[in-house]
């Protein structure tokens, strides 16, 4: 399996990273760090750290945009994150591997 | 050049010698304390409640102590046997010297990777000053997280003399406690065991404090996020809270590291 060979599967198996990926995969639109942190009940700085790693592995796509956060009167620059096609591929491969083990 | 190398070697010899000297003093004081335990059994007033509390101490601490001794001995034997067959490989961590510099020290020794199944986490040999990582950590964690772990182990090396001093001081406190306890003792055995339990309690405090200190130093030299991530990883792997006589719980360590999020670092 490719994801096992290049070490992606092992990195994804970290509990916090897996939760973040699951959250991003389920969301219908890109989420920013605060939203992910709220969903996975982690500190935003910790989420940022994991997003850096996931972005480096090409599992998450991040870009900065201006958005209205928590009833703010003017826009704030946020880091919007969305899953990449590689993530879907990786999650499918993990699911397949789990099925095989079963 | 040769002069500098000689000075460096002499300094290293002096530091190792100092560590051994402190350990020796610690052992001597501990022996004195154990000797006193046998001498000072003066049965006075019946303090059953106190004895009951001591017995509780004994039960908890003896369990931890047996766990610690059995675990450490097992690991040393296993390491020795395993390392003879499979030599640990060297691991090159890119920002090794930068982290050491941020901690205010130099580190020119290699980091070793071992596949030994009994090694479930990174550890430091305080005498030789070498750091060992289980090889699965390198595969399963990111470079930043391994750097944070390295920083933690390096902090143990940095504060090793302080640690030994604190252990010696803890033995002294226990010794003082021995005199105090002599007035309340009913049964000599209970008295002796209670002292032992108290010693374990104080040592546990010192060891746990040392872990918090290493966490704090590593988070300052790297990032608290990376270290928290490592703790979370081990929490998932161990399926427990990671608390032992030498280490505080993962949750407790995490809480302390999170305090650094809001500070200016």
pLDDT tens digits for chain A (102 residues)? 566 666 787 888 888 999 999 899 888 888 889 899 999 999 999 999 999 999 998 889 988 888 777 767 777 888 889 888 888 888 888 888 888 887
Give kind and range of the element (H or E) at residue B16: helix B2-39
Residue B185 is encoded by which pair of tokens?
Answer: 């003792």
A 1-20: CB under 8 A from B? 7, 10-11, 13-16
**Mean predicted confidence (pLDDT) in B43-68:** 59
- Would you say the pTM of this structure is higher than 0.80? no
**Under 8 Å CB-to-CB from B250, ≥6 apart: which residues?**
B231, B232, B234, B235, B241, B242, B243
> A3-7, A22-26, B211-215, B240-244: which has the minimum mean pLDDT?
A3-7
Could you tell me whether strands B111-114 and B89-91 are parallel, antiparallel, or unpaired per DSSP bridges? antiparallel
- Gap from A7 CA to chain B (nearest CA, Å): 7
Q: How far is CA B131 from CA A48, B41, B135, B145, B192, in A?
A: 29, 44, 12, 15, 37
A 41-70: CB under 8 A from B? 43, 45-46, 48-50, 52-53, 56
- Gap from A19 CA to chain B (nearest CA, Å): 12
- Please report which confidence band the pLDDT of residue B58 belongs to, taking 50, 70 and 90 as the band edges: low
Helix residue ranges, H only, B40-95:
48-85
Instruction: Name the nearest CA neighbour of B231 among A3, A84, A66, A15.
Output: A15
Q: Does the beta-carbon distance from B225 to A11 stay under 8 Å?
A: no
Between helix B224-238 and helix A44-56 the angle, nearest 10°, is: 80
CB of B264 within 8 Å of any CB in chain A? no
Question: For residue B170, what pLDDT is reported?
Answer: 79
- Please report which confidence band the pLDDT of residue B46 belongs to, taking 50, 70 and 90 as the band edges: very low
- Gap from A66 CA to chain B (nearest CA, Å): 24
Question: For residue B219, what pLDDT is reported?
Answer: 93
What kind of fold does domain A2-101 have according to CATH?
Arc Repressor Mutant, subunit A (1.10.10)
Q: Where are the domains of chain A?
A: 2-101
- CA A60 centroid distance within chain: 6
User: Which of A44, A47, A50, A53 to probe the B interface (max B CBs under 10 A)?
Assistant: A53
Distance CA A102, CA A96 (A): 10
Looking at the predicted structure, is the pLDDT value of residue B25 above 50? yes
- Please report which confidence band the pLDDT of residue B55 belongs to, taking 50, 70 and 90 as the band edges: low
- Please report which confidence band the pLDDT of residue B264 belongs to, taking 50, 70 and 90 as the band edges: low
On chain B, the residues whose CB falls within 8 A of the CB of A48 are 225
Q: Does the beta-carbon distance from A7 to B228 stay under 8 Å?
A: no
Question: For residue B8, what pLDDT is reported?
Answer: 62
**Under 8 Å CB-to-CB from A18, ≥6 apart: which residues?**
A12
Largest Cα–Cα distance in chain B?
70
* Residue B91 phi, psi dihedral angles, 5° rounding: -120, 130
- Gap from B104 CA to chain A (nearest CA, Å): 25
A 10 A CB-CB count for B52 gives: 10
Q: Does the beta-carbon distance from B142 to A15 stay under 8 Å?
A: no
Q: Using an 8 Å Cβ cutoff, are B131 and B124 in contact?
A: yes
Give the A:B interface size as CB pairs under 8 Å: 38
User: Which of B139, B140, B237 to probe the A interface (max A CBs under 10 A)?
Assistant: B140
CB of B228 within 8 Å of any CB in chain A? yes
Question: For residue B53, what pLDDT is reported?
Answer: 57
User: Which of B136, B142, B226, B250 to probe the A interface (max A CBs under 10 A)?
Assistant: B142
Sign of the CA dihedral with A68 first, then A71, A76, and A80 last: negative
Q: Does the beta-carbon distance from A14 to B229 stay under 8 Å?
A: yes
Which residue in chain B has the smallest CA separation from A9? B140
Distance CA B63, CA B71 (A): 12
Distance CA A80, CA A33 (A): 7
Looking at the predicted structure, is the pLDDT value of residue B43 above 50? no
Domain ranges, residue B19: 2-262
Q: Does the beta-carbon distance from B229 to A48 stay under 8 Å?
A: no
Which of A11, A15, A45 faces B236 most closely, judged by CB atoms? A15
- Gap from B183 CA to chain A (nearest CA, Å): 52
Between helix A15-26 and helix B224-238 the angle, nearest 10°, is: 100
Looking at the predicted structure, is the pLDDT value of residue B75 above 80? no
Question: For residue B151, what pLDDT is reported?
Answer: 95
Which residue in chain A has the smallest CA separation from B260? A45
| pLDDT > 70 fraction of chain B, expressed in percent and rounded | 66
The tally of domains found in chain B comes to 1
**Under 8 Å CB-to-CB from B99, ≥6 apart: which residues?**
B147, B150, B151, B154, B221, B222
Q: What is the DSSP letter of A85?
A: H
Instruction: Name the nearest CA neighbour of B202 among B174, B165, B175, B176.
Output: B174
């Amino acid at each position: 399996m490719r994801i096992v060979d290049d070490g992606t599967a092992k990195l994804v198996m970290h509990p916090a990273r897996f939760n973040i990926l699951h959250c991003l995969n389920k969301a219908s639109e890109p989420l920013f760090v605060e939203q992910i942190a709220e969903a996975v009940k982690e500190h935003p700085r910790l989420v940022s750290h994991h997003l850096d790693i996931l972005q480096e592995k090409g599992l998450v796509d991040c870009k900065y945009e201006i958005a209205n956060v928590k009833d703010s009167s003017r826009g704030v620059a946020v880091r919007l994150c969305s899953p990449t096609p590689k993530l879907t591929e990786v999650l499918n491969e993990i699911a397949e591997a789990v099925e095989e083990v079963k | 050049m040769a002069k500098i190398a000689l000075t460096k070697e002499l300094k290293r010899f002096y530091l190792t010698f100092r560590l051994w000297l402190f350990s020796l003093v610690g052992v001597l004081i501990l022996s004195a304390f154990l000797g006193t335990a046998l001498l000072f059994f003066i049965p006075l007033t019946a303090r059953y409640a106190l004895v009951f509390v001591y017995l509780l101490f004994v039960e908890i601490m003896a369990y931890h102590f047996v766990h610690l001794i059995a675990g450490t001995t097992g690991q040393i034997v296993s390491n020795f046997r395993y390392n003879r067959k499979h030599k640990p490989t060297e691991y090159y961590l890119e920002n090794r010297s930068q982290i050491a510099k941020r901690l205010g020290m130099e580190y020119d020794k290699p980091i070793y990777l071992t596949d030994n199944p009994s090694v479930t986490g990174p550890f430091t040999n305080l005498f030789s000053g070498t750091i060992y990582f289980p090889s699965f950590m390198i595969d399963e964690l990111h470079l930043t997280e391994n750097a944070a772990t390295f920083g933690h182990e390096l902090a143990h090396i940095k504060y090793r003399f302080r640690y030994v001093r604190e252990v010696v001081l803890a033995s002294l406190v226990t010794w003082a406690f021995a005199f105090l306890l002599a007035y309340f003792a009913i049964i000599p055995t209970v008295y002796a065991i209670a002292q032992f339990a108290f010693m374990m309690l104080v040592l546990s405090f010192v060891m746990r404090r040392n872990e918090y200190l290493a966490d704090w130093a590593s988070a300052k030299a790297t990032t608290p996020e990376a270290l928290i991530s490592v703790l979370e990883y081990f929490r998932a792997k161990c399926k427990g809270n990671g608390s032992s006589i030498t280490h505080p719980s993962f949750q407790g360590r995490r809480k302390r590291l999170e305090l650094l999020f809001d500070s200016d670092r």
